[in-house]
Amino acid sequence: MSHSILTEETVLLNADAKNKEEAIRLAGQLLVDQGCVEPSYIERMLEREQSLTTYIGNSVAIPHGTEEGKKNILRSGISILQIPGGVDFGDGQTAKILIGIAGKGDEHMEILSKIALVCAEEESVDKMVHAQSKEELLSLFDEVN
């Protein structure tokens, strides 16, 4: 996976979020800070979550914007939030890894499929949850081609 999309600057370890809205805002802010999206994209991420949960199982949620939010994307980017304490995503689902996605154009599906491959393995997710460094966490994505 291209490191221009996923960098140490867009990874936050040991994050603490009181609820899923706060967690999604943190994931979105990492994308804003790296110049991937306009601040308004965070609102599109929250809208998406209200209409359809982005929790995909295995303690992972992949918040991303609505179709309308695509115009707020400046360039593709991914943010990763490690929340060891977990955050409630409703229906008894607890996310410990949030992967914020902003895909420009057709890159969106390619990004999602690579993330899905990593997150399908419970062992990989467990390694992400317990990663002690950003390098350790990012190395799990290096193995996906």
Pair of tokens at residue 72: 């707020």
Element (H, E) at 139: helix 134-142
Which residues have CB under 8 Å from 56's CB, separation 6+?
62, 116, 119
- Residue 109: its pLDDT value, please? 77
How far is residue 137's CA from residue 65's CA, in Å, rounded to a whole number?
Answer: 24
Query: For 87-138, how does the pLDDT look when each residue is reduced to its tens digit (9 = 90+)?
Result: 999 999 999 999 999 988 877 777 778 888 889 889 999 999 999 999 999 9
How far is residue 5's CA from residue 31's CA, in Å, rounded to a whole number?
Answer: 10
Query: At 2, is the pLDDT very low, low, confident or very high (cuts 50, 70, 90)?
Result: very low
Average pLDDT, the chain: 91
- β-strand pairing of 60-61 with 94-102: parallel
What's the CA dihedral at 127, 44, 70, 134 to 10 degrees? -20
Pair of tokens at residue 45: 């991420």
What are the structural domains, with CATH classification, of the chain?
Answer: 8-142 (3.40.930.10)
Q: Considering only 15-19, 30-34, 98-102, 116-120, which range has the smallest mean pLDDT? A: 116-120
**pTM score, whole prediction:** 0.92
The residues assigned a catalytic role are: 64
Task: Give the 3-state secondary structure percentages of the chain, helix then strand then coil, rounded to 5.
Answer: 45, 20, 35
